[in-house]
């Protein structure tokens, strides 16, 4: 026993007190270490964030929209190339002149503030000019996915409540197929890709009520420039649709302020107004239409547009256009890495690549082979308000949360049920922060009238409400819930784990589809692989199933089974394999899995692909036909 100041301390009490003191010292020492290691990163990001806030504050005061912002960029360098496309060079002045001609035509056809002018068009310099011309009148432009047909196309046009649809001539058949199911009041304008030549006015319609929009542009002089007659900086600009990986696309609202915030966030990372940016992405999605095109419209960069992504032409194109920055998304980097070596691999001038979806497993190989100095990997949802970026090139990280000043940029990782996506709440009913290295769902706190914090959601208000979680850290507050499972390490770096709903449970363990897909792609020569959970009768949880593309017929299933046994725990190895010749991809190079999941491992539903199941005793994948299917369902074959 120890006597101190008249108090009798037992040895055990003294040891506990000493341990607590040691723990406090250790905690503060570790915190100081983390603070020192992350301070440069956090300061750089803070400077970038302040630049964005200053820009948005200035534009809020001026109440400018994108056409207004673009006009003052044009005035600074009218003859500078704005868009490069195939062998065409469009100067900033030429893009604005085209947009003013669009404004005149649309105004003559009754378009005014609040009208909805849908755009179904492939990549070309005229596409941004078309929606700029509409925005000058205060119109809103839904950018419709050019791959949509039938019901999905009808849905996208109707949910946006389009008054007009402008479509490229190559999509005329797709539009005519659904024309009788569209609103009879919808005006249809066909756009043809050709140089504009002065012409006399032509008849506006034909028997099928489709108007030649290009002829109208040729016969209509440009409107005189004026500030947009729109709802200002915070007004609606575009509708951009989600990729539709789990159902019909939803139209997300993009305001002028949101557009500026997203584009400037990328610009202030490592870009400058002198950069030439290579963009092989579709302009109907946020990646191409906002993040790349926005560099030209807001900051005066030159953007080289590609009609369609080609892995073999990615760096040769960068060399051709003298690009200094290149954009990627989804699985693109994996496809480029899988191409044969070429002199263009290192002859290009690209110093920065930016995008999202560069997998950690190929990150180092990619930057080494193609001599890339900087990678700006970012994360964000088109409809959301939670955007982050990897500012220092840490391999695999999609961004970070500051461990020093976490409240400066109000994002967080919440504890969540990974199968239902619902936040786990404490005894008071409030949400709980995930600890370092604990998976959780990514959220962004909502603050109306703040461009960096506002949540505009979808055109469909009920769909918007489903993405909002309330009573987060205090009663009455709210946040956008992304649905993505992330993990933050001790230093605050964030790593993508999976989508809620994609994670499934098998043999009492959570299985991440993203991690399994990465492992399979790695051992299967970068083949496309999509992983999902399927229900097995009388069996708890969901069994893992992998659809893998083998167009060449050279996939060695025995070697695949051996490699996966080495790289994955038993519960994570796919129980079923579906060998396919191709897999459906979204415009942002995400693999669609909803239809595959519905068909499952039932041979009667899977007509053209081969099915296999894993025999754990033999460690091999065996053919799965109708007889094997019945035995699995009744328990004769145990998984």
Q: How many other β-carbons are positioned within 10 Å of the β-carbon of residue 622?
A: 14
Q: Which residue has the higher pLDDT, 48 or 325?
A: 325
Q: In what helix (H) or strand (E) does residue 169 lie, and over which residues does it extend? A: none
Position 542 confidence tier, pLDDT thresholds 50, 70, 90: confident
pLDDT of the residue at 302: 98
Kindly state the tokens that stand for 170.
Answer: 């190559």
Portion of the chain with pLDDT greater than 90, in percent:
49
Give the lowest-confidence range in 47-51, 350-354, 448-452, 463-467: 448-452
Backbone angles phi, psi at 497, to 5 degrees: -110, -55
Q: Which residue has the higher pLDDT, 5 or 191?
A: 191
Find how far residue 197's CA is from the centre of its chain.
38
Tell whether the model's pLDDT for residue 298 goes beyond 90: yes
Q: In what helix (H) or strand (E) does residue 241 lie, and over which residues does it extend? A: strand 236-241
Position 5 confidence tier, pLDDT thresholds 50, 70, 90: low
CA angle 265, 353, 52 (to 5 degrees): 10
Distances (CA, A) of 301 to 94, 225, 263, 436, 588: 15, 22, 12, 39, 23
- CATH fold label, 502-633: GMP Synthetase; Chain A, domain 3 (3.30.300)
Taking residues 445-451, what's their average pLDDT?
A: 74
Range ranked top by mean pLDDT from 21-30, 164-173, 382-391, 411-420: 164-173
Q: Which residue has the higher pLDDT, 310 or 584?
A: 310
Taking residues 12-34, what's their average pLDDT?
A: 63
Taking residues 113-137, what's their average pLDDT?
A: 97
Residue 458 DSSP code: B
Kindly state the tokens that stand for 322.
Answer: 């003298």
CA angle 142, 145, 150 (to 5 degrees): 105
Position 11 confidence tier, pLDDT thresholds 50, 70, 90: low
Taking residues 359-370, what's their average pLDDT?
A: 92
pLDDT of the residue at 15: 62
pLDDT of the residue at 496: 84
- Residue in the structure block whose two tokens are 């690549």: 353
Q: Decide: 166 and 259 in contact? Cβ < 8 Å.
A: no
- CATH fold label, 405-451+466-498: Luciferase; domain 3 (2.30.38)
pLDDT of the residue at 14: 52
How many whole angstroms separate alpha carbon 603 and alpha carbon 626? Answer: 6
How many whole angstroms separate alpha carbon 445 and alpha carbon 480? Answer: 6
Tell whether the model's pLDDT for residue 476 goes beyond 80: yes
Taking residues 555-572, what's their average pLDDT?
A: 84
Q: Which residue has the higher pLDDT, 151 or 163?
A: 163
Using one digit for the tens of pLDDT, what is the confidence trace for 241-293? 976 544 577 899 999 999 999 999 999 989 999 999 999 999 999 999 999 99
pLDDT of the residue at 207: 44
Q: Decide: 245 and 593 in contact? Cβ < 8 Å.
A: yes
The CATH number of domain 63-308, selected from 3.30.540.10, 3.30.70.890, 3.40.630.30, 3.40.50.980: 3.40.50.980
In DSSP notation, 516-569 reads: HHHHHHHHTTT--EEEEEEE-TT-SSEEEEEEEE-TTS---HHHHHHHHHHHS-
Average pLDDT of the residues of the chain? 87
Kindly state the tokens that stand for 98.
Answer: 């085209």
Boundaries of every domain in the chain: 2-41, 63-308, 405-451+466-498, 502-633
Position 7 confidence tier, pLDDT thresholds 50, 70, 90: low
Query: Sign of the C-alpha dihedral, residues 211, 214, 215, 218?
Result: positive
Nearest alpha carbon to residue 476 among 545, 429, 436? 429
pLDDT of the residue at 31: 76
Q: How many other β-carbons are positioned within 10 Å of the β-carbon of residue 577?
A: 28
Backbone angles phi, psi at 454, to 5 degrees: -75, 155
Tell whether the model's pLDDT for residue 597 goes beyond 90: no
pLDDT of the residue at 203: 45
Position 565 confidence tier, pLDDT thresholds 50, 70, 90: confident
Residues paired with 254 in a beta bridge: 238
Using one digit for the tens of pLDDT, what is the confidence trace for 182-204? 999 999 999 999 888 876 666 45
Taking residues 109-131, what's their average pLDDT?
A: 96
Distances (CA, A) of 506 to 193, 421, 438, 496, 539: 53, 17, 19, 21, 9
The full 3-state SS of 351-377, as one line of letters, equals CEEEEECCCHHHHHHHHHHCCCCEEEE
Q: At what angle do helices 557-567 and 513-523 cross, to 10 degrees?
A: 130
Parallel, antiparallel or unpaired: strands 251-255 and 236-241: antiparallel
Give the lowest-confidence range in 4-8, 101-105, 107-111, 177-181: 4-8
pLDDT of the residue at 569: 74
How many whole angstroms separate alpha carbon 237 and alpha carbon 140? Answer: 5
pLDDT of the residue at 172: 94
The full 3-state SS of 57-98, as one line of letters, equals HHHHHHCCCHHHHHHHHHHHCCCCEEEEECCEEEEHHHHHHH
Backbone angles phi, psi at 63, to 5 degrees: 60, 40
Using one digit for the tens of pLDDT, what is the confidence trace for 373-397? 999 999 887 877 878 889 888 999 9
């Amino acid at each position: 026993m120890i006597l101190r100041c008249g108090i009798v301390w037992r040895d055990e009490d003294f040891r506990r007190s000493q341990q607590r003191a040691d723990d406090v010292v250790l905690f503060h020492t570790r915190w100081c270490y983390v603070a020192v290691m992350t301070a440069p990163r956090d300061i750089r990001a803070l400077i970038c964030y302040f630049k964005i806030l200053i820009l948005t504050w200035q534009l809020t005061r001026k109440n400018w929209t994108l056409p207004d912002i673009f006009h003052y960029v044009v005035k600074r360098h009218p003859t500078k190339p704005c868009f490069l496309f195939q062998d065409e060079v469009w100067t900033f002045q030429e893009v604005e002149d085209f947009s003013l001609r669009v404004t005149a035509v649309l105004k003559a056809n009754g378009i005014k503030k609040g009208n909805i002018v849908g755009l179904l068009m492939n990549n070309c310099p005229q596409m941004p000019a078309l929606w700029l011309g509409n925005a000058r009148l205060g119109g809103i432009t839904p950018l419709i996915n050019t791959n949509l047909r039938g019901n999905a196309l009808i849905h996208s046009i109707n949910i946006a409540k389009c008054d007009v649809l402008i479509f490229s001539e190559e999509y005329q058949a797709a539009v005519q197929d659904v024309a009788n199911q569209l609103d009879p009041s919808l005006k249809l304008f066909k756009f043809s890709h050709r140089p504009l030549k002065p012409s006399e006015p032509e008849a506006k319609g034909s028997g099928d009520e489709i108007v030649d929009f290009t002829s109208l542009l040729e016969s209509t002089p440009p409107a005189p420039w004026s500030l947009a007659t729109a709802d200002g900086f915070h007004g609606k600009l575009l509708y951009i649709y989600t990729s539709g990986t789990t159902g019909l696309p939803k139209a997300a609202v993009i305001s002028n302020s949101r557009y500026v915030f997203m584009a400037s966030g990328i610009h202030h990372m490592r870009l400058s107004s002198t950069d030439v940016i290579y963009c092989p992405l579709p302009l109907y999605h946020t990646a191409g239409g906002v993040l790349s095109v926005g560099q030209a419209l807001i900051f005066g960069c030159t953007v080289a547009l590609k009609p369609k992504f080609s892995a073999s032409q990615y760096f040769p194109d960068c060399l051709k256009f003298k690009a200094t920055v290149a954009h990627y998304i989804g699985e693109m980097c994996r496809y480029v890495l899988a191409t044969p070596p070429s002199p263009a691999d290192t002859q290009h001038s690209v110093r920065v690549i930016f995008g999202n979806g560069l997998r950690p497993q190929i990150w180092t190989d990619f930057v080494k082979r193609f001599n890339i100095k900087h990678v700006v990997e970012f994360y964000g949802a088109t409809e959301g308000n939670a955007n982050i970026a990897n500012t220092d090139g840490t391999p695999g990280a999609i961004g970070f949360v500051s461990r020093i000043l976490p409240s400066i940029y109000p994002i967080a990782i919440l504890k969540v049920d990974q199968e239902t996506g619902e936040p786990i709440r404490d005894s008071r009913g409030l949400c709980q922060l995930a600890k370092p290295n604990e998976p959780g769902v990514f959220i962004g706190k909502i603050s109306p009238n703040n461009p960096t914090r506002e949540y505009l959601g979808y055109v469909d208000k009920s769909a918007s409400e489903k993405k909002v979680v309330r009573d987060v850290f205090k009663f009455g507050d709210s946040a956008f819930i992304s649905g993505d499972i992330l993990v933050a390490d001790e230093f605050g770096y964030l790593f993508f784990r999976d989508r809620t709903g994609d994670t499934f449970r098998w043999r009492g363990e959570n299985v991440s589809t993203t991690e399994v897909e990465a492992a399979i792609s790695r051992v299967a020569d970068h083949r496309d692989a999509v992983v999902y959970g399927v229900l097995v009768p009388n069996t708890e949880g969901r069994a893992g199933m992998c659809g893998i593309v083998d167009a060449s017929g050279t996939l060695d299933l025995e070697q695949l089974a051996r490699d996966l046994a080495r790289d994955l725990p038993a519960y994570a190895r796919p129980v079923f394999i579906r060998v396919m010749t191709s897999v459906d991809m979204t415009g942002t190079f995400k693999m669609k899995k909803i239809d595959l999941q519905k068909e499952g491992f039932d041979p009667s539903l899977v007509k053209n692909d081969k099915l296999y199941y894993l025999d754990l005793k033999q460690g091999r994948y065996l053919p799965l036909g109708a007889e094997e299917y019945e035995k699995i369902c009744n328990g004769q074959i145990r998984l």
